[in-house]
Amino acid sequence: MSQSPKHLAVAGATGAVGIEILKCLEQRDFPVSELTLLASARSAGKTLKFRGEDVIVKELTADSFAGVDIALFSAGGGISKTFAPHAVAAGAVVVDNSSAFRMDEGVPLVVPEINPEDAKEHHGIIANPNCTTIVTLMALNPMHQIFGGVKSILASSYQAVSGSGAQGIAELEAQVAALSKGEPLPDRQVYPKQIAFNVIPQVDTFQDNGYTKEEMKMHFEGQKILHAPDLKASVTCVRVPVFRSHAISVTAVFADEPSVEAAREAINAAPGVQVVDDPFAESPQYPTPLDCTDGDDCLVGRIRKDLVLDNALTFWVVGDQVRKGAALNAVQIAELL
């Protein structure tokens, strides 16, 4: 990159997304003049590697942001609400990975491949969308652009346990180990039901309308990112016993009649997303979560005309929710800045 080096802070640096942010900054050669790593008091004093050097993690406080140009937050909504204003007051631009500011009218909600111009309208904070929303819209937006706009979405997500953090992975591992040895299951700490060899149709808390908070995010965030205030989304989010990367089955209704061939061409021409779709090959081709893990691109397959709804296509998309669904998208926003 040719831009002048920046003083970056990463809040929540020791978490899964924080560590992935450091990987993305290195791999994309982001111009960093100084790096400040921030976390809770219990993590202060730890060291993390960045470009071959040990960087000491400091405790996140209100005074942590002096001289910081860009602060990447990935420490949860409560932390963001408490400390992001201090970062802005110190002169930093905050890129926040939590849900704290996503629906604030004055805060842009940005996927750089879709609405990069919105980032210019920030007032100190730019929000990173929900991971499932990002992965879905990466596939949907190219079709949205050529078929007269998307009108509605019916979707089911299949969300990896890493979406619950390291503790979600640990719970799945512990349950699989116990079941394989014929031992009693350990007490559940993360999920309301057994996750090993099971699926749980509850991600986040239920709302009065029967949908969960996670399911409503695609509805509201999709409207904001696509500038489509009339877009409607009916979503079921399911936790599955997969370690990393989310998958979403989507039926999208468009204003104009879509075609499978045009959809494939548009997706392949768009940045950050690829078609993997040949159902009639000797070995049928379609993407799975393992195919996109640790990768930047979202992968799309099973593209077909819907048999129930007019002007509709049904498709399947997978993406690494730790990377494109969180860390990579945040770093790409920092690149826009």
| pLDDT tens-digit map of 133-152 | 999 999 999 999 999 999 99
pLDDT tops 70 at residue 220: yes
Nearest alpha-carbon partner for 154 in 254, 273, 240, 253:
253
CB 127 within 8 A of CB 109: yes
Buried b / exposed e over 248-272, threshold 16 CB at 10 Å, is bbbbbbbeeebeeeebbebbeebeb
Catalytic one among 131, 237, 292, 298?
A: 131
For residue 156, the tally of other CB atoms under 10 A from its CB is: 16
**Helix, strand, coil % over all residues of the chain, rounded to 5:** 30, 25, 40
131 tagged catalytic: yes
pLDDT tops 50 at residue 262: yes
pLDDT score recorded for residue 25: 97
Percent of the chain with pLDDT over 70: 99
Structure tokens that stand for 254 in this block: 């468009």
pLDDT tops 90 at residue 166: no
pLDDT category of residue 165 using cuts at 50, 70 and 90:
confident
pLDDT category of residue 269 using cuts at 50, 70 and 90:
very high
pLDDT score recorded for residue 1: 45
What is the torsion angle, in degrees rounded to the nearest 10, for the CA atoms of residue 307, residue 253, residue 101 and residue 216? -40
Catalytic one among 122, 144, 219, 246?
A: 246
The pTM of the full predicted model, rounded to 2 decimals, is 0.95
* Whole-number average pLDDT of the chain: 96
Q: Quick one: average pLDDT of 195-203?
A: 97
Domains and CATH numbers, the chain: 6-128+326-336 (3.40.50.720), 133-321 (3.30.360.10)
144 tagged catalytic: no
Which amino acid is it at 206? F
pLDDT tens profile 278-330: 999 999 999 999 999 999 999 999 999 999 999 999 999 999 999 999 999 99
> What distance in Å separates the CA atoms of residue 202 and residue 185, rounded to the nearest whole number?
20
pLDDT score recorded for residue 2: 53
Percent of the chain with pLDDT over 90: 98
pLDDT score recorded for residue 4: 86
